Structure 1
Amino acid sequence: MSKQRFNRREILKVTGGAATVSLLAGCSGNGDGGDSDDDTSTDAGGGETTTSGGSGDSDGDGGEQINIGSVQPLSGGFAPWGQAHSAGLSFAIQEINADGGVLGGRNLNIVESNSESDPAEASSIFDRFAEQNNIVAATGPVSSDVGIRTSRTAQELGIPMIMHMAGSDETITEETLHSFRLGLLPAATTMQAQAQLVSDAGYENVAAIVGDYAWGRSVQTAIQDNFDVDVDIHVAPVGADDFSSYIRQVSQDVEMFIATGHPPGSLTITGQLSELGYNPEVVTGPSIPPSVIRSAIGENVAESAFTHIHMADAASDEFAEVAQRFGEEVGSQFNTHTAYGYVTGQMIAQAIEDAGEADSEAITEAIRSIEFDTLFAEPIQYSEYGELKDQVQIYSKVTAEAPSYYPDGDYSLEEQFRTDPLPALAPES
């Protein structure tokens, strides 16, 4: 594994509260892949839409199509995540169907609805898809609250759910045997990754701000359990937009600042560090779509200490090949979160083939035993509880340059660090 120390850069000022979650809904831009050229339309009020590489209710050979549920946050604060994931999922299904579908010629079909990041609405959509559309698998949750609720729904329905994000440790338990993580490792494992970064770089002065809610407190506990250095941790309200009082309590010599535990304020924390004269080598945030980081910070994004945390290996040839096809077909930039949707579609298709039938329980077991070599640094494999095992987490700077596979793009990723393979989190009893 290639590892390297972060280069010291002057942090770009991100003034005011402009980079909070409330802004993110308007930052999806073209970089999220949300402007797909297919015939999909989405009602921001939870309306349903269906996308497919085929047409009608059957495939070209007259067999029934196989439905996959997509419970996405397509409006609100998590819209950039949902739009990117939806676009990647749709593209994967189009490619699979164009290549002959699954099980000897059956088309896959996406049934999608906007959860608006509301746990009750997401669970209701999941129920409806199971009852009315006979879905065999589902995907989409981003927020941990939605992930926790739909993980329980998946167990009740006996239908596998692939989590886009939903990183709270409580999302997956010993009782939730139909849920699988994909785009985000749980808080405990993510902090193991950042402990590796600290050790590799030789940092001794580390600080953190965490949000006063489940995710933030999980991050706080994981820092205390995994770091070999003392971390100066401060707890702020989830809705805070002024972190200056917390930052002033931190040493001016801080080398790494962990903002991962406060997703809504992570970009704002980065800017306020600079305003107060702090110059850490790295600020670790949550897994924000890189298009959002580029939009929020602007042209000088490469000079920012803020990092993008991701699982998809954007430096691989396989990633570039898919990204180029996506750009040519869809007309927008493929990114790490688009990749999560694409990988989800491809993995569900492989699980259906491995199961030999479009049965939800059989597909669940096929996913649990899968070894799927994809756009990630390591093949996707799961523990018996649906946690990713032996996966690599990657930390990158976002730059203002177009990638080689999409000349019309306005950002690229510059890798700074990748972890060793990380063990699967064991659920609490």
Structure 2
Amino acid sequence: MIMSRESYDRRAVLKATGGAATLGLLAGCLGGGDGNGTDGDDGGSTTSTSGNGGGSSGSNSINIGSVQPLSGGFAPWGQAHSAGLSFAVDEINSNGGVLDGRNLNIVEANSESDPAEASSIFDRFAEQNDIVAATGPVSSDVGIRTSRTAQELGIPMVMHMAGSDETITSETRHSFRLGLLPAATTMQAQAEFVSDANYQNVAAIVGDYAWGRSVKSAINEHFDVDVNIQVAPVGASDFSSYIRQISQDVELVIASGHPPGSLSISQQLYELGYNPDVITGPGLPPTVIRSALGDNATRGFTHVHMTDVYTDKFAEVAQRFGEQVGEQFDTHTSYGYITGKMIAQAIENAGESNPEAVTEAIRNIEFETLFPEPIQYSEYGELKNQVQLYSTLSTEAPPYHPSGNYSLREEYRTEPLPALDPGN
């Protein structure tokens, strides 16, 4: 049975969106529990799933490790990614599996966004479950640690988010980005957006951790206008003191640098009388944006994403997902879905389930998917020639999911962006 991770754990979402300030907004929008049998507080549990077409895990199956943040501040990302991955594996197994009939199987555990725990899970999956590849990290701190673990183990790790520039270096050859371009590239794109819109009054609130520090450095490098940068703890929920350091006539606020606090930053900007044209958010699941911000979700909060949600191909996958899982397919379920499909294609291209062979197959892949451009990688595992899209939310349901309570509207898309060279 496909397991939905879109029915987000209310406690996890509240942590991600600032706690009590959004409790009333969320209470009527999110179901209790995550709907999948995973205890959101149990960081050590491991679950094993396979698709409808494959039945239960068997000795001939090929295991993929899912190292997900299923509780804590990054849980909305992890739960959505996990749901998409499970859906992809179900489709793959229903269509005959890989390598002439071998099923894919997901082994999953909750990292709680703890780098040491994530690395330990990765080690355990390699030793006990003989995984061929892994995926899941969202937090940059976890991405940095598991990227090193992937190198030590010789097993490919496909990063859900983990956009810090330091996640991938010239020494890490088994790590691959997917759902988020590195901070330097993301801020280069946002600088072009600011320039095109001719904004002059720009501010940013960034988290004091690897991703936030990378964003701050990239803002200083790429923006032609002076940006008022405020640095807040990664676990902050009250941003009023940082917001008050920003000009009341600010035109654009970069909240991309503080993913767990971005929605609280937005709400508190409005509560304090600010009305920027645009708030550039992180790649937060749109369901969470809509639920947490309510009517304010349509005021300019900008979802940054990689998947082209405006194509017939996306609508077809989203409709299948909605019919089988009963939830709205979004950018983050799509990242899990794409990851599962890409790993399966890499196994086919390699002709075997050896992790080193799969690593090389991913590095050399050209994979047509739900992104605007085919997925291709540099020798270091950075995405080549990919496009970032900026979308705002509408309260209208999309045609492929009539019971949904939001849809996306395209505001901007970049030109294909070059791969970051970790040697520079």
TM-score (normalizing by structure 2): 0.90
Question: Residue 277 of structure 1 is aligned with which of 257, 264, 273?
Answer: 273
| Equivalence for 2:252 | 256
| Equivalence for 1:384 | 379
1:427 maps to 2:422: yes
| Equivalence for 1:173 | 169
**1:423 aligned partner, one-letter code:** P
**2:380 aligned partner, one-letter code:** Y
Using the aligned pairs only, state the percent identity: 73
User: Larger % of helix: which?
Assistant: 2
In 2, Cα distance between equivalents of 1:18 and 1:215: 16
| Equivalence for 2:344 | 349
Counterpart contact for 1:392–1:422, Cα < 8 Å: yes
Question: Residue 129 of structure 1 is aligned with which of 125, 128, 133?
Answer: 125
**1:340 aligned partner, one-letter code:** Y
Trace 1:205-224 onto structure 2 (pairs within 5 A): 205-224=201-220
1:186 maps to 2:182: yes
Secondary structure of the residue aligned to 2:17 is coil
Trace 1:243-392 onto structure 2 (pairs within 5 A): 243-302=239-298, 304-392=299-387
Counterpart contact for 2:16–2:261, Cα < 8 Å: no
**2:202 aligned partner, one-letter code:** V
- Bigger shift: 365-374 or 391-400? 391-400
Counterpart contact for 1:308–1:397, Cα < 8 Å: yes
Secondary structure of the residue aligned to 1:350 is helix
Question: Residue 142 of structure 2 is aligned with which of 129, 146, 158?
Answer: 146
How many angstroms does 1:201 deviate by? 1.2
Question: Residue 66 of structure 1 is aligned with which of 62, 66, 73?
Answer: 62
How many angstroms does 1:211 deviate by? 2.3
Counterpart contact for 1:74–1:80, Cα < 8 Å: yes
Counterpart contact for 1:31–1:409, Cα < 8 Å: no
| Equivalence for 1:13 | none
In 2, Cα distance between equivalents of 1:17 and 1:137: 30
Identify if the C-alpha distance between structure 1 residues 355 and 78 changes in structure 2 by more than 3 Å, giving closer, same or farther.
Answer: same
Counterpart contact for 1:370–1:381, Cα < 8 Å: yes
1:85 maps to 2:87: no
Counterpart contact for 2:165–2:182, Cα < 8 Å: yes
**1:236 aligned partner, one-letter code:** A
| Equivalence for 2:8 | none
Per-residue CA shift, 1:198-222, capped at 9, x if unaligned?
A: 1221212211122233222211110
Secondary structure of the residue aligned to 2:231 is strand
Identify if the C-alpha distance between structure 1 residues 31 and 371 changes in structure 2 by more than 3 Å, giving closer, same or farther.
Answer: farther
| Equivalence for 2:6 | none
In 1, Cα distance between equivalents of 2:150 and 2:389: 29
How many angstroms does 1:111 deviate by? 1.0
In 1, Cα distance between equivalents of 2:134 and 2:33: 20
How many residue pairs were aligned?
A: 405
| Equivalence for 1:55 | 55
Secondary structure of the residue aligned to 1:154 is helix
In 2, Cα distance between equivalents of 1:261 and 1:413: 22
Secondary structure of the residue aligned to 1:235 is strand
Secondary structure of the residue aligned to 1:298 is helix
In 2, Cα distance between equivalents of 1:136 and 1:191: 33
Gaps of 5+ in 2: 1-13
**1:380 aligned partner, one-letter code:** I
Question: Residue 116 of structure 1 is aligned with which of 108, 112, 117?
Answer: 112
How many angstroms does 1:356 deviate by? 0.9
How many angstroms does 1:104 deviate by? 1.4
In 2, Cα distance between equivalents of 1:23 and 1:136: 43
Counterpart contact for 1:33–1:87, Cα < 8 Å: no
Counterpart contact for 1:33–1:333, Cα < 8 Å: no
How many angstroms does 1:253 deviate by? 2.6
| Equivalence for 1:410 | 405
Identify if the C-alpha distance between structure 1 residues 264 and 106 changes in structure 2 by more than 3 Å, giving closer, same or farther.
Answer: closer
Identify if the C-alpha distance between structure 1 residues 75 and 234 changes in structure 2 by more than 3 Å, giving closer, same or farther.
Answer: closer
How many angstroms does 1:293 deviate by? 0.7
| Equivalence for 2:160 | 164
Secondary structure of the residue aligned to 1:132 is helix
Per-residue CA shift, 1:235-294, capped at 9, x if unaligned?
A: 233343333333333333321111111223222222232233322110112111111111
Per-residue CA shift, 1:10-45, capped at 9, x if unaligned?
A: xxxxxx99932798999696699964xxxx632431
TM-score (normalizing by structure 1): 0.89
Per-residue CA shift, 1:397-428, capped at 9, x if unaligned?
A: 12222111011111111111111111111114
Identify if the C-alpha distance between structure 1 residues 367 and 17 changes in structure 2 by more than 3 Å, giving closer, same or farther.
Answer: closer
Counterpart contact for 2:16–2:260, Cα < 8 Å: no
How many angstroms does 1:388 deviate by? 0.8
Gaps of 5+ in 1: 1-15
